[in-house]
Structure 1
């Protein structure tokens, strides 16, 4: 009865589900929406306002004088920056793949270069750049063209530079 006299309503008994039926709980501060749906709603409203203001600027910019154009350009640049920040990474990936024009080809199963056996995740990558199964992973088993001797010789030469002491001590 005290709540009725004061004109306020009692809080609901249990949690409130989001009005968008996304499965999460909403709050009264977010218009009974979950935080994600509320952010999406705010983002859509801002984009609609920006679109309306840009249309007004375009319409008024074509009939207006030269004094207001720099101000309108500055406003358009600021709205473009806000729109660029509002774009999600998923939409960037989707647009970049659509712009490329070439669909990604699905790679076939990983196979051993010697026996053509499927290796899956257990394949061994050789220094020659090929993939091999467990029995052909060693260089002598698949006639590897990689020159291990030269690479080892160069590594030892880099790690141990030649140091020569002078024959006479200078005074």
Structure 2
């Protein structure tokens, strides 16, 4: 079944320029948006090339913005950030480059504050349940296992 777009090529191009100018996007998000709009595959390629050439679409910039936001606002660890970027098909080079933006001191400080805050909020009197809940919480957020287990040992002493 053929898809029919209600947008002309120029209208779709302008719409995607605004879409990319509003916030950083990765190539997958842009392609999905164009697909939702019913744009044909050959036109999708032309629009993506235009967006890259005119600096509306830049995966390195997207990766750095993504890492900064997810680390500083959502308090995600490296593992979760890497997984999310890989799902968006960001290159390993861009992922590594973006992760360099996180300073190790800030990373560890954020981890310790997050773990301590969560530990204090856990209501259970059962030590094993508290330890498991804290570990699950930190792993879900993408923190490394060596950090998690060291912190749990520190908090339970």
Which TM-score applies when normalising by structure 2? 0.28
Which TM-score applies when normalising by structure 1? 0.26
Larger fraction in strand: 1
Larger Rg belongs to: 1
Larger fraction in helix: 2
Q: Which has the higher contact order (CA 8 A, sep 6+)?
A: 2
